[in-house]
Every structure is written in structure tokens, then in C-alpha cells.
Amino acid sequence: MRRILIIDDEEDIREVAALSLETTAGWEIVTASSGADGIRAAANSNPYPDAILMDVMMPEMDGPTTFRLMQQNPDLAGIPVLLLTAKVQGVDQRRFAGLGVSAVLFKPFNPLTLAAQISEKLGWVD
């Protein structure tokens, strides 16, 4: 069973994404409401998450900053990160892609296809 960490400051987004991934894919979900909490949740998770779905825009520590800090931790650096954003302009997409994340997914997402999108972007075949 896959384990996914969802990091988003919006409780509604966390709940919809978690329910979607649990229901449609049967994945185990861990959630965090901030970048700092997400880093702690990932580091303290046993086993580590198979992937992290993270919002771009969060107060205090945004998604790109959280990603960069995770990359400095050898235990977390290999975990694929998918950014979730409402910013769909080309310049934003290029900036996010330049970070080295595995993929960028867009809000609003379709809860019925979110697991399939993640699996496709990460090359997971179950």
C-alpha cells in the first residue's frame, strides 16, 4: 500500500485529497497543515512516504521553500514531491519545474482522477 503525505494549509483541500486517495486508490494518507509540520511528518513517518503532495502557496513557509529544505535531508531527498497549485501561467510552471519536483498538478483537481494523475506522473503501475 502506498503512503502519501499531503501538505496544505487549507483543511478542506487536505480532507478532499485524503478522502479521494484513500477511496479511489486505497492509499494510506498522512496530512500536515504547514511546511514545517510537513517536514516533521515526513521525517518521523515510518516508513517514509512514497510521495508528497504539497501546496505551493502556504503562509510562513511556501511549498518551494519546504521542498528545498526537504532536499537537504538525505532521508527525505529521494521522496517524489508533486506540487499542487492554482497558478497555471507558463512562467510559474517553468519556475516550479526548475525546482526539481516530480510534477506539478493544478487546482482545482478532480477527486475522482487525482490518484490516477499522481500514479501517471510518478510512473506507478499497480
Band (pLDDT 50/70/90 cuts) for residue 88 is low
Determine the pLDDT at residue 114: 98
The string of pLDDT tens digits covering residues 10-19 is 999 999 999 9
CA R_g for the chain: 13
CB 114, CB 20: distance < 8 Å: yes
CA quadruple 101, 5, 43, 62: dihedral, nearest 10: 50
Residue pair 28/50 in contact (Cβ under 8 Å)? The answer is no
- Distance in angstroms (rounded) separating the CA atoms of residues 15 and 43: 22
- What pTM was computed for the model? 0.94
* Res 126: pLDDT: 63
pLDDT of 90 strictly over 70: no
Domains of the chain with CATH codes: 3-122 (3.40.50.2300)
